[in-house]
C-alpha cells in the first residue's frame, strides 16, 4: 500500500507544550488537504497519510511539504514486517543503475535482523538482481530506506523531499503585515509565517494615483502567500487623501517619513482591532532612505506594538533568492506602481530628527486623516 510519511524536527524540542504544536501541525495539514480524500494518523513521532488516490500522490506531497512545521515528506510502500515482503518492495523501488546504499531503522526490536544485518542482506539482494548497481556507503547516488515500525508494518522508500520546516502557523501569535507590491514584504510574510505567526495583510492603495492593476497585483501575491499562511485576508486602505495632504502641506523631503508614520498608526489601529500582537514590515536596514536607523526610529515612535522586521539584516540578493523560491518574485516585479512611489521626493531626508518630524507633520490633522482612512477599509478574504 502506498503511503506518505511526514516528519517534523523543531517540534521535538518542545517540552510539556509539544502536544499543542503537534495538534496545530496536524490541523494545518488537514486544512491544506481540504479538497483531498485521505486518512491521516500519527505514528511514532511522524504522520502517515494513506487511502488516497495514487494519481494525487505528487500533489499531496507538494502541498504538505509547504506546510510550516514539516521537515520532510516521503512517498513510501507500507508492507508487512516480513523479510520477503520488504525484499519485494525494495526490488520494486530500487534504482535502475548507479551507486546506492540501504539505510535501515529497526524501531521494532522483535524483528529477527538488526539494522546492519537487514541493510546488508537487502543490499545483497539488490546487487544480485541488477548488475548495473553498485554499493557506495559514503556518497551514494541513491538511497533505499527501510523503516521497521513497532506495529508490525515496514515503510520502504527512496526519496525524502525536504519540507519548509519552521513552526506550525498559529503557534506564534498573530501579526499584521504591511503588504506592498514589491519584493520585500511578501518575503517578510513568509519568514514570520515560518515562525508560526498567523498573518493578516494591510495594503495602502492610492487610487487614482495608482492603478487598479496595482491592487490586483497585491491580491495575487496574497494568493501565492496563502499556500504558506493557510489563511489570508487583505485590508485595502485608501491612502489617497493622506498622501495628498502630506504633498500639499509638508516639505517634499519629509514625504516618505511622514507617510510611513501614518501607515504605522493605521496598521496599529487595525492590529489592535483584530487582536494582533505585532506589526510586520519588509524593511532592510540601509536599503532605501526610509530604512536608515534614524528613519526607522522615527517610524517606530508612533507605534506601541512591536514592529517586526525579519529582513532587517538581509541584502537584496538574499531577499530575491527567497522570493524566487516561494514564487512571489515574478509577480512582485510586474511594473505597477504602489503608493510608496507617488510624489517621490528627489532628495528624501535620510536622518530625520524626531523633533523636526513632529513639527513638520503638526500642520496636518493627523487624527482626522487616520479616522477617514479607517472608515473606508475594503476587507478582501483571499
Distance CA 246, CA 120 (A): 75
Both 211 and 248 in one domain: the answer is yes
* Residue 106, domain member (yes or no): yes
Of 135, 162, 189, the one marking the end of a domain is: 162
CATH at 319: 3.40.50.620
For residue 85, what pLDDT is reported? 97
3-state SS class at 194: helix
Q: Which of 336, 339, 217, 335 is nearest to 290 (CA)?
A: 339
Cα three-residue angle 119-120-121, rounded to 5 degrees: 95
Query: Model confidence over 173-189: pLDDT tens digits?
Result: 999 999 998 999 999 99
Beta carbons of 36 and 60 less than 8 angstroms apart? yes
> Given pLDDT bands bounded at 50, 70 and 90, which one contains residue 87?
very high
Q: What are phi and psi of 157, to 5 degrees?
A: -155, 165
> Given pLDDT bands bounded at 50, 70 and 90, which one contains residue 103?
very high
Number of domains into which the chain is organized: 2
Beta carbons of 361 and 245 less than 8 angstroms apart? no
Of the ranges 29-33, 146-150, 288-292, which one carries the lowest mean pLDDT score?
288-292
Q: Which of 217, 216, 258 is nearest to 239 (CA)?
A: 258
Both 120 and 35 in one domain: the answer is yes
CATH at 138: 3.30.2130.30
Both 221 and 261 in one domain: the answer is yes
* Residue 290, domain member (yes or no): yes
Both 57 and 190 in one domain: the answer is no
Both 108 and 179 in one domain: the answer is no
For residue 342, what pLDDT is reported? 64
Residue 194: pLDDT over 80: yes
* Residue 167, domain member (yes or no): no
Both 155 and 274 in one domain: the answer is no
For residue 339, what pLDDT is reported? 63
Beta carbons of 30 and 46 less than 8 angstroms apart? no
Q: Determine the structural domain holding residue 148 and report its residue range.
A: 2-162
Both 146 and 180 in one domain: the answer is no
Burial of 63 (0-12, 13-18, 19+ CB in 10 A): middle
Region 143-159 average pLDDT? 95
Residue 45: pLDDT over 80: no
The count of other CB atoms within 10 Å of the CB of residue 341 is 15
For residue 16, what pLDDT is reported? 86
* Residue 168, domain member (yes or no): no
Both 13 and 130 in one domain: the answer is yes
Name every residue whose Cβ is closer than 8 Å to that of residue 325 and which is 6 or more positions away in sequence. none
Taking each continuous run of H as one helix and of E as one strand, the counts in the chain are 13, 15
Bridge partner residues of 178 (DSSP): 202
Both 125 and 237 in one domain: the answer is no
* Residue 169, domain member (yes or no): no
Both 145 and 254 in one domain: the answer is no
* Residue 256, domain member (yes or no): yes
For residue 202, what pLDDT is reported? 98
Q: How far apart are the first and last CA of the chain?
A: 37
- C-alpha gyration radius of the chain: 26
For residue 192, what pLDDT is reported? 98
- As a whole number, the mean pLDDT across the chain is 94
Residue 288: pLDDT over 70: yes
Distance CA 89, CA 155 (A): 9
Of the ranges 92-101, 135-144, 172-181, 205-214, which one carries the lowest mean pLDDT score?
205-214
Both 143 and 226 in one domain: the answer is no
Query: Model confidence over 316-343: pLDDT tens digits?
Result: 999 999 999 999 999 999 987 766 666 6
Of 162, 189, 210, the one marking the end of a domain is: 162
Query: Model confidence over 244-255: pLDDT tens digits?
Result: 999 999 999 999
3-state SS class at 275: coil
How does DSSP classify residue 195? B
Beta carbons of 146 and 156 less than 8 angstroms apart? yes
Of 162, 183, 210, the one marking the end of a domain is: 162
Distant-in-sequence contacts of 131-138, Cβ < 8 A, 24+ apart = 132/96, 132/97, 132/98, 133/94, 133/95, 133/97, 133/98, 133/99, 133/100, 134/98, 134/99, 134/100, 135/99, 135/100, 135/101, 136/99, 136/100, 136/101, 137/101
Both 67 and 191 in one domain: the answer is no
Amino acid at each position: 500500500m502506498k503511503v506518505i510519511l511526514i516528519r517534523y524536527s523543531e517540534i521535538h524540542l518542545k517540552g510539556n507544550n509539544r502536544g499543542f504544536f503537534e495538534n496545530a501541525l496536524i490541523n494545518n495539514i488537514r486544512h491544506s488537504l481540504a479538497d483531498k480524500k485521505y486518512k491521516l494518523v500519527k505514528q511514532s513521532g511522524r504522520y502517515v497519510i494513506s487511502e488516497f488516490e495514487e494519481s494525487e500522490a505528487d500533489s499531496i506531497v507538494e502541498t504538505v511539504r509547504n506546510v510550516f512545521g514539516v521537515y520532510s515528506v516521503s512517498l513510501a510502500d507500507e508492507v508487512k514486517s516480513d523479510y520477503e515482503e520488504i525484499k519485494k518492495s525494495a526490488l520494486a523501488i530500487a534504482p535502475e543503475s548507479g551507486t546506492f546504499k540501504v539505510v535501515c531503522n529497526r524501531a521494532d526490536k522483535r524483528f529477527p535482523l538488526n539494522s546492519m544485518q537487514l541493510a546488508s542482506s537487502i543490499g545483497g539482494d539488490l546487487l544480485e538482481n541488477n548488475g548495473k548497481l553498485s554499493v557506495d556507503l559514503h556518497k551514494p547516488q541513491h538511497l533505499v530506506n527501510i523503516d521497521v515500525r513497532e506495529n508490525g508494518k515496514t515503510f520502504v522508500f527512496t526519496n525524502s523531499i525536504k519540507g519548509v520546516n519552521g513552526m506550525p502557523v498559529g503557534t506564534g501569535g498573530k501579526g499584521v503585515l504591511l503588504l506592498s507590491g514589491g519584493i520585500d514584504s511578501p518575503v517578510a510574510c513568509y519568514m514570520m509565517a515560518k515562525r508560526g505567526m498567523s498573518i493578516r495583510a494591510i495594503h495602502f492603495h492610492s487610487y487614482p494615483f495608482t492603478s487598479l492593476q496595482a491592487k490586483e497585483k497585491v491580491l495575487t501575491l496574497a494568493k501565492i502567500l496563502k499556500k504558506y499562511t493557510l489563511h489570508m485576508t487583505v485590508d485595502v486602505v485608501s491612502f489617497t487623501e493622506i498622501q495628498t495632504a502630506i504633498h500639499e502641506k509638508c516639505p517634499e523631503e519629509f514625504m516618505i517619513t511622514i507617510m510611513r508614520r501614518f501607515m504605522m498608526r493605521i496598521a496599529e489601529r487595525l492590529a489592535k482591532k483584530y487582536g494582533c500582537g505585532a506589526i510586520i514590515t519588509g524593511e532592510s536596514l540601509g536599503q532605501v532612505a526610509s530604512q536608515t536607523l534614524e528613519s526607522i526610529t522615527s517610524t517606530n515612535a508612533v507605534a506601541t506594538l512591536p514592529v517586526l522586521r525579519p529582513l532587517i539584516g538581509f541584502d537584496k540578493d538574499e531577499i530575491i533568492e527567497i522570493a524566487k523560491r516561494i514564487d512571489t518574485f515574478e509577480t512582485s516585479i510586474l511594473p505597477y506602481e504602489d503608493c510608496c512611489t507617488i510624489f517621490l521626493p528627489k532628495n528624501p531626508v535620510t536622518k530625520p530628527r524626531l523633533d523636526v518630524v513632529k513639527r513638520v507633520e503638526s500642520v496636518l490633522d493627523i487624527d482626522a486623516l487616520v479616522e477617514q482612512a479607517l472608515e473606508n477599509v475594503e476587507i478582501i478574504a483571499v
